[in-house]
A and B are shown apart, each in its own frame.
Chain A
Amino acid sequence: MSDDRRVDINVPVLARVEGEGALRVTAEDGRITDLQLRIYEPPRLFERFLVGRAWHEVPDAVARICGICPVAYQMSAVQALEQAFGVDPGDWVRAMRRVFYCGEWIQSHALHIHLLAAPDFFGYAGALDMAADYPDEVRRGMRLQALGNELMALFGARAVHPVGARVGGFHRAPLATAVAELRGRLEAALPEAEALVRWCAAIGLPEAAQDFPSVALRGADYPMNAGRIAATTGLDLDKADWDSRFAEEQSPHSTAFHARLDGAPYLVGPLARLNVNADRLPAETAALLAESGLALPSANPFHSMLARALEIHLALTEAVRLLADYAAPDRPFAEVTPRAGTGFGATEAPRGVLWHRYETDERGLLTASRIVPPTAQNQARIEDDLRQALEGRGLDAPDDELRRLGEQVIRNYDPCISCATHFLDLTVERR
């Protein structure tokens, strides 16, 4: 490496993601020879400090892993522990967990589209600048996000680190009057979600055609809390058999694992879900998808934003459907008797598949715990995308432009670095 021709840029590049990291790119003769999405946020060791905890503490503990997707952590955890203990939570709990999850998708996706991702596509430095020119769109985004938060709080008592979930169901069923009032406002927001889908479909996107498997749960419904692990490759796997096809490996440049499917990077998240499950959309959302003209499976990662908008519409539609004829049950949970066992949880966090595995002893204390978050799964895919996007642009482009493109590519995945433990200084070395 000749230092005289080396270009170093060190700027805190990635705002608008959650967590801390950096991007280092080494290029030779216009080709990238090395690219590292460096994740240096310290490891958080959650898996380790769950060991020795009692089963009933787990839903509240794992909610602290993430302030954006606590519901996802709770839902994967309760599913795993219910499997370990042989508990069937029943239809009411299953339906209301889906509604709870809808709230998290709505708030997380609305925030990402309007405050984090969309400014990139219009060339704004951030949401503040975009708000001056697109005030109605930003307001719409904030209204949708607030509705999502209210839906989370309806079941969780609060939107941040909710406390309503327990193994077996919920501590308390929401009051029918509160459900009816919120359901009315969710239904009234459907036209806003439709307008949001049309708005996202009309935004000009960078062209990209990339080859990657999409991995998502697949079941009877568009996946949230249930389904087998499926992929556009034809993969169809029970959640218990995760290790037979997926592997996590450490890289020196990252405190997050890199996950691979049969040795290759893959995509999880809204676009992966849509690529695998478009036929599971409710009719109203499917009609909007058809109107958008989006051809699936999409090989353009930038379609993730439209996928998020469609999922907001889906989540509102599902919540309205599932809360019709709501009645609080006598007891909003199934009794739990702990036992020694092993259980697996796989649910669809806003950012993609969130997989948990727990072992318990006969008292229900955790003896082993593993958590595979979506951003760790996407990390290798993001690096692949960056390689293709930056080389496609041409590495002779000015550093500022490469940095902006790199940020846009990364933000498009809505990475939650804190979950994955893990943002962005860019270093380009040209040789």
Chain B
Amino acid sequence: MAGEVVVVGVGSPFGGDRTGWAVIDRLAAGEPLPGVRLERLDRPGPALIPALGTAGRAVIVDAVRSGAAPGTLHRFTAADRLPRTRAVSGHGLGLADALALGERLGDLPPWVVIGVEAAPEALPPEEVLERAVRAVRAEAAAPAAG
């Protein structure tokens, strides 16, 4: 639906990589967000593109390791600014490559990535997740420019 906002949490079931899903779970349990669709993806990969394609706007939340202090929130709006962890491989595309491919195809709505600096071993503390939830809510409600 063209006016809809989709919020996609990217992650996997264990450790810090679960951050994206944990944020979606907290959004789902919190105040309803009218006009917002919540999704959990188990790898960014090419599935990200159809997941975003029908929405009017997209907010993506994912765990990030950039070397910043744990709990730091990052905001990305350009694929080439996102950290690239690995080359395109049989396991699919990383988030940056998937977004770059979607843009090359011209299939993406305006998007923003909220990256949560997380350690691989464990989910970030609740305080960090709550900050990430607030940041995602704010993005979903009214996008800041650029």
A interface residues (Cβ-Cβ under 8 A, vs B) = 12, 15-19, 67-68, 108, 111-112, 115-116, 126-128, 131-132, 135, 138-139, 141-143, 145-146, 149, 158-160, 414, 416
Verify A128–B100 contact, CB threshold 8 A: yes
A145 to B46, CA, bound (A): 8
Of B42, B47, B101, B107, the contact of A127 (CB 8 Å cutoff): B101
Q: Does B114 contact A (CB under 8 A)?
A: no
B50, B89, B97, B101: which has the most chain A beta carbons within 10 Å? B89
Q: Does B91 contact A (CB under 8 A)?
A: yes
In the complex, besides A67-B91, A160-B42, 11 extra interface pairs with C-beta distance below 8 angstroms are A17-B90, A108-B90, A127-B88, A127-B101, A128-B97, A128-B100, A132-B104, A142-B50, A145-B45, A149-B47, A158-B42
Q: Does B110 contact A (CB under 8 A)?
A: no
Verify B101–A15 contact, CB threshold 8 A: no
- Chain A residues with Cβ below 8 Å from B12 are 160
Residue tally, chain B, CB below 8 Å to A:
22
Verify B87–A111 contact, CB threshold 8 A: no
Closest to A15 in B: B87
Closest to B107 in A: A139
Q: Does B92 contact A (CB under 8 A)?
A: yes
Instruction: List the 9 closest pairs (A to B, CB-CB), nearest first.
Output: A18-B90, A15-B87, A142-B46, A131-B104, A160-B42, A135-B105, A18-B89, A67-B91, A68-B90
- Chain A residues with Cβ below 8 Å from B42 are 158-160
Nearest-Cβ distance from residue A382 to partner chain B, whole angstroms: 15
Verify B101–A116 contact, CB threshold 8 A: no
A15 to B87, CA, bound (A): 6
**Interface of A, helix, strand, loop or mixed by DSSP:** helix
- Chain A residues with Cβ below 8 Å from B67 are none
Of A116, A128, A139, A160, the contact of B90 (CB 8 Å cutoff): A116
- Chain A residues with Cβ below 8 Å from B131 are none
Q: Does B137 contact A (CB under 8 A)?
A: no
Of A18, A146, A414, A416, the contact of B46 (CB 8 Å cutoff): A146
Verify A145–B47 contact, CB threshold 8 A: yes
Of B45, B49, B90, B97, the contact of A112 (CB 8 Å cutoff): B90
Q: Does B74 contact A (CB under 8 A)?
A: no
Interface residues in B82-112 by Cβ distance below 8 A to A read: 87-93, 97, 100-101, 104-107
Verify B88–A18 contact, CB threshold 8 A: no
Nearest-Cβ distance from residue B56 to partner chain A, whole angstroms: 20
- Chain A residues with Cβ below 8 Å from B89 are 15-19
- Chain A residues with Cβ below 8 Å from B97 are 128
Nearest-Cβ distance from residue B131 to partner chain A, whole angstroms: 28
Interface residues in B41-70 by Cβ distance below 8 A to A read: 42-43, 45-47, 49-50
Nearest-Cβ distance from residue B54 to partner chain A, whole angstroms: 13
A90 to B126, CA, bound (A): 47
- Chain A residues with Cβ below 8 Å from B91 are 18, 67-68
Nearest-Cβ distance from residue A192 to partner chain B, whole angstroms: 14
Verify B87–A16 contact, CB threshold 8 A: yes
Verify A115–B88 contact, CB threshold 8 A: yes
A143 to B46, CA, bound (A): 9
- Chain A residues with Cβ below 8 Å from B43 are 67, 160
B42, B47, B90, B97: which has the most chain A beta carbons within 10 Å? B90
Verify B106–A135 contact, CB threshold 8 A: yes
- Chain A residues with Cβ below 8 Å from B107 are 139
Verify A128–B92 contact, CB threshold 8 A: no
A16 to B94, CA, bound (A): 12
Verify A115–B93 contact, CB threshold 8 A: yes
Of A19, A127, A138, A146, the contact of B50 (CB 8 Å cutoff): A146
Closest to B48 in A: A142
Closest to A12 in B: B87
Closest to B12 in A: A160
Q: List 16 A-B contacts (CB under 8 A).
A: A16-B87, A18-B89, A19-B90, A68-B90, A111-B90, A115-B92, A127-B88, A128-B104, A131-B104, A142-B46, A143-B50, A145-B45, A146-B46, A146-B50, A158-B42, A159-B42
A146-B47 contact, Cβ under 8 Å, with A131-B104, A139-B107? yes
Closest to A417 in B: B90
Verify A139–B87 contact, CB threshold 8 A: no
A47 to B97, CA, bound (A): 34
Verify A131–B105 contact, CB threshold 8 A: yes
A206 to B93, CA, bound (A): 27
Verify A138–B101 contact, CB threshold 8 A: yes
A19 to B12, CA, bound (A): 20
